[in-house]
Amino acid sequence: MERTFLMVKPDGVERGLIGEVISRIEKKGFRMVAIKMLRISEELAGEHYAEHAGKPFFDEMLSFITSGPVVAMVWEGPGVIQSIREIMGATDPARAEPGTIRRDMGTSISRNVVHGSDSPAAAEREINLFFKDSELLD
Ligand code: CDP
Ligand code: MG
């Protein structure tokens, strides 16, 4: 069964949007198999966003993602990786479709409420960064 990694970023946690994000995914019929709240370390942030190292927004993104608690989750279901990307919407809230999380709740490209894996390889990598196998429930 396909699985993906989803995270409510510090802006979403601070603004009380955890429930709304979860609700939208649950209503779509997907199943949560793991969840935890944590404060991301500099090291974990660097690994999670390794593909963006060296980009102009990298340092600011790392300081933002480590600035407060996040909620990390694993979701399961057919086509869940692509479906959650669609429910999230485009990276920049101003360009995201109406009805997506980022359009409805995001306030800027850096404060766009959620992260979701963009491919099966990314999903596997990100799930393993944040969760042990024993933390994923059936
Ligand atoms: O999150 P998503 O996969 O949609 O976008 P990305 O291109 O993988 O970028 C990762 C994250 O970097 C975004 O979600 C933004 O929060 C941040 N970012 C930014 O702050 N400024 C940019 N110009 C591009 C991305
Ligand atoms: Mg990405």
Atom of ligand 1 nearest to the CA of 118: 3
What percent of the chain lies above the pLDDT cut of 90?
99
Instruction: Measure 31 CA to ligand 1 centroid, in angstroms.
Output: 26
The CB-side HSE value for 103 (13 A sphere, CA atoms) comes to 11
Question: Given the CA of residue 49, which atom of ligand 1 is nearest to it?
Answer: 10
Please compute the mean of the pLDDT values over residues 2-22 and round it to a whole number.
Answer: 98
Q: What is the pLDDT of residue 4?
A: 98
Helices 80-88 and 18-27 cross at an angle (nearest 10°) of 130
**Which ligand 1 atom lies nearest to the CA of residue 90?**
4
Distance in angstroms between the alpha carbons of the first and the last residue of the chain: 11
- The torsion angles phi and psi of 6, rounded to 5 degrees, stand at -130, 140
List residues bridging with 37 in a β-sheet.
71
Do the bridges between strand 3-8 and strand 70-76 make them parallel or antiparallel, or are there none, so unpaired?
A: antiparallel
Q: Tens digit of pLDDT for each residue in 43-92?
A: 999 999 999 999 999 999 999 999 999 999 999 999 999 999 999 999 99
The first and second tokens of residue 50, run together, are 């390794």
Note the pLDDT tens digit of each residue in 83-135: 999 999 999 999 999 999 999 999 999 999 999 999 999 999 999 999 999 99
Question: Which residues lie near ion ligand 2 (Cβ < 5 Å)?
Answer: 118
Q: Is the CB of 32 under 6 A from ligand 1?
A: no
Pick the CATH number of 3-132 from 3.90.870.30, 3.40.50.300, 3.20.20.120, 3.30.70.141: 3.30.70.141
Q: For ligand 1, is residue 22 a contact (CB within 6 Å)?
A: no
- The per-residue pLDDT for 138 is 84
Using most ligand atoms within 8 A of CB, pick from 100, 101, 109 the residue to mutate for ligand 1.
109
CB contact set of 31 (below 8 Å; sequence gap of 6+): 75, 76, 77
Amino acid 28: pLDDT:
97
Q: What is the pLDDT of residue 20?
A: 98
Domain ranges in the chain? 3-132
Contact (Cβ atoms closer than 8 angstroms) between residue 74 and residue 5: yes
